[in-house]
Amino acid sequence: MKNRIQQIYGRLLKHYGKQDWWPVRRSFEPEWFEICVGAVLAQNTSWKNVDKALDGLMREGMTSPSAVLKADPDKLKKAIRPSGFYNQKAERLKILSTLILDSGIDNFQQKMTRESLLSARGIGKETADSILLYACDRPVFVVDAYTKRIFSRIGLMEEKLEYEKIRELFENAIEKDSGLFREYHALIVEHAKQTCGKEPLCRECCLLQVCKYGKGKANQ
């Protein structure tokens, strides 16, 4: 299992190259706050819609925890409307901003705990781990729907395997390094978008030789 997870990373990296993800393209203050906001906005939507919502926040000057916290709720909702579920997400952004300010902006990256993030309403495991990995540079592996889809098709896990068990599987299989975790997660996302979609392009897949599902499809 460990060797196969390492082997899959190597194949993905060779095929797609380094992704250098998470993209930070705007003037949020601090810079990592854009990642935190993006992690909340990304819930149940595409990154294309997240980009539009982040642009909306930029236009309104809602680019810091204090600005989000002070923002008129209706204006905040309008700014992030493209991301969908804007009522809930506006509330979650204010909750997250409060959490950041209460912990101290200068201390957030070093001292914020997974438990504290998960205790905040509306912040689930994937969102919390995305913030810890990409904004705080912590070696925490992010599990998403793409991870479950790809690795269940390969035959390394059941798609319904619970989040924590999948996270532990990856964290025990590869070097516990935040840079490696970021790259692996980004490659999984890229592979799911380009090849291993809901209707997978198995014959074109760089993982075909190690994928149980793909081999079956290719032989049909």
DSSP, residue by residue, 147-215: HHHHHHHHTSS-TT--HHHHHHHHHHHS---HHHHHHHHHHHHHHHHHTSSSS--GGG-TTGGG-HHHH
For tokens 């978008």, what's the residue? 193
Q: 27 in a domain, yes or no? A: no
Query: Could you give the number of structural domains in the chain?
Result: 2
Q: 58 in a domain, yes or no? A: yes
Higher pLDDT, 214 or 186: 186
Q: 111 in a domain, yes or no? A: yes
The pLDDT of residue 184: 98
For residue 41, pLDDT over 90 is answered with yes
Listed in sequence order, the residues at least 6 apart from 33 whose beta carbon sits closer than 8 Å to its beta carbon are 63, 64, 65, 100, 135
Alpha-carbon gap, residue 69 to 157, rounded angstroms: 41
The rounded mean pLDDT for the chain is: 95
**Domain end point (choices 104, 135, 166):** 135
Does 183 share its domain with 146? yes
Does 42 share its domain with 124? yes
What pLDDT, in 10s, does the model give residues 158-173? 989 999 999 999 999 9
Closest CA to 92 of 147, 55, 59, 131: 131
The pLDDT of residue 215: 86
Q: 164 in a domain, yes or no? A: yes
User: What is the dihedral angle through the alpha carbons of 4, 9, 14, 20, rounded to the nearest 10 degrees?
Assistant: 180
The pLDDT of residue 219: 65
Q: How much is the average pLDDT of 51-75?
A: 98
**Domain end point (choices 81, 110, 135):** 135
Alpha-carbon gap, residue 176 to 139, rounded angstroms: 6
Q: Is the omega angle on the peptide bond into residue 73 within 30 degrees of 0, that is, cis?
A: no
Does 149 share its domain with 214? yes
Terminus-to-terminus CA distance in the chain, angstroms?
27
Q: 129 in a domain, yes or no? A: yes
Domain that holds residue 7: 2-20+141-218
Does 37 share its domain with 131? yes
Closest CA to 96 of 141, 43, 58: 43
Alpha-carbon gap, residue 136 to 108, rounded angstroms: 8
Q: How confident is the model at residue 2 (pLDDT cuts 50, 70, 90)?
A: confident
**Domain end point (choices 135, 157, 177):** 135
Does 213 share its domain with 170? yes
Alpha-carbon gap, residue 196 to 192, rounded angstroms: 4
The pLDDT of residue 71: 98
CATH number at residue 206: 1.10.1670.10
Q: 28 in a domain, yes or no? A: no
What percentage of the chain exceeds 70 in pLDDT? Answer: 99
Alpha-carbon gap, residue 46 to 85, rounded angstroms: 13
Q: Token pair of 174, please?
A: 């590869």
Q: Token pair of 168, please?
A: 């532990």
User: What is the dihedral angle through the alpha carbons of 210, 167, 117, 107, rounded to the nearest 10 degrees?
Assistant: -90
The pLDDT of residue 42: 96
- This prediction has a pTM of 0.94
CATH number at residue 127: 1.10.340.30
The pLDDT of residue 1: 75
Does 124 share its domain with 168? no
